[in-house]
Amino acid sequence: MIPDTTGMKCEIVQQKSHRCGYEAQMLLTGAKIVWVETREQMEAAINDRTAMMFFLNLADPRGQIKREEFVKIGKARGVPTFMDAAADVPPASHLSDYVKMGFDLVAFSGGKGLLGPQASGLLLGNKEMIEWGMPCISPHGGIGRGMKVGKEEIMGLLAAVERYLKVDHDAEFRLLESKIKYIMDVLAKVPGVKTEQFVPEIANHLPHMRVDWDPAQHKLTGEQVSKQLLEGDPAIMLPASQNGVTISVWMMRGDEHRLVAARLRDILAKA
C-alpha cells in the first residue's frame, strides 16, 4: 500500500519548467520524480517503472513539450497523463477541454474559480483511474486520509459546480470589472499612483488590477504597504511588487472592494 511502492510503478516524469511547488504532494505517495527538458529526454525517461506523466497547465507556454504532444507521448508509451489545472477555470470549458484533448486525469481546485469549499477539488477524466484512487481516500484508510475531504466539502463542491455551470459568466466578469473600476476611481485621486487592469492568460483568468506608485512621491515599498494592510482591521492581504501591489477582486464579497480602496488610498495618501 502506498507510500510503500514495493512492486509498483513509482516514477513520475515532469518537465523542469512545470515545477510549481506542489511536488511534495507527488513525493508523499512514495513516487520519485524524474525531471526532463526536451522531448528526447522525456522519451528516454519513460520506462517500465513510469507510473504517470505530470503536466502543469499554467506552464504550457514555458515548457518545450506542449499539451497535445505531451498527450501523444503518453498514449504512444501507455503512460497515464495527469494535468494540474487547479486555478484554470474560468473559462468553464476547461472543465472538459483537457479531458477531450486526451489527458487521463485533470484536477481543479474547488476553492478557486469554482468558488466552492477550500478543502475540496475535482478529479476528472478516466473513470477507471479515478476509481483506483477511491481506496486511498476517506472513508477508507489510505494515504489520502490525511487530506480527508469531508461530506460537507463534497456536497459544498457539488453545489458550487452546479452553480458554476449555469451562472452568467459574462455578467460575473462585468461585475468584477466594475469593482476594479471603483478601486481605480478612488486611487485616481491620489497623485503619483497608477492603476491598470489585467487578465492572466491561463490561471486565475479573471480581471485583476495592478497598483503602482512613484517612489519619489510615496516613500513606501510594495512590501511595506502590503504589511500595513495586513496589520489593519480587517486584515487585507495583497501581493507586493517593488513599488506596487496586485489586487484580485473575485473573492471579495459585497462591498469589500470599497474597504480595500479606502484603506489603500489612506495609506498611500499619507506615505
The residues of the shown chain that bind ligand PLP, judged by CB under 6 A, are 20, 22, 56, 58, 84, 86-87, 109, 111, 121, 203
Query: Helix, strand, coil proportions of the chain in percent (round to 5)?
Result: 40, 20, 40
Nearer to ligand PLP, 138 or 243 (CB): 138
User: Per the structure block, which three cell numbers stand in for 95?
Assistant: 472543465
**Amino acid identity at 167:** V
**Amino acid identity at 127:** K
Minimum CB distance to ligand PLP, residue 251 (Å):
12
Q: Are 98 and 57 in contact (CB under 8 A)?
A: yes
Nearer to ligand PLP, 158 or 259 (CB): 158
Nearer to ligand PLP, 56 or 247 (CB): 56
Nearer to ligand PLP, 65 or 87 (CB): 87
Minimum CB distance to ligand PLP, residue 121 (Å):
5
Nearer to ligand PLP, 80 or 117 (CB): 117
User: Per the structure block, which three cell numbers stand in for 165?
Assistant: 455551470
User: Per the structure block, which three cell numbers stand in for 82?
Assistant: 495527469
CA dihedral (138, 144, 148, 154) in degrees, to 10, reads: -70
DSSP-assigned states of every residue in 100-121: HHT-SEEEEESSSTT---TT-E
Minimum CB distance to ligand PLP, residue 182 (Å):
27
Minimum CB distance to ligand PLP, residue 191 (Å):
36
Minimum CB distance to ligand PLP, residue 40 (Å):
26
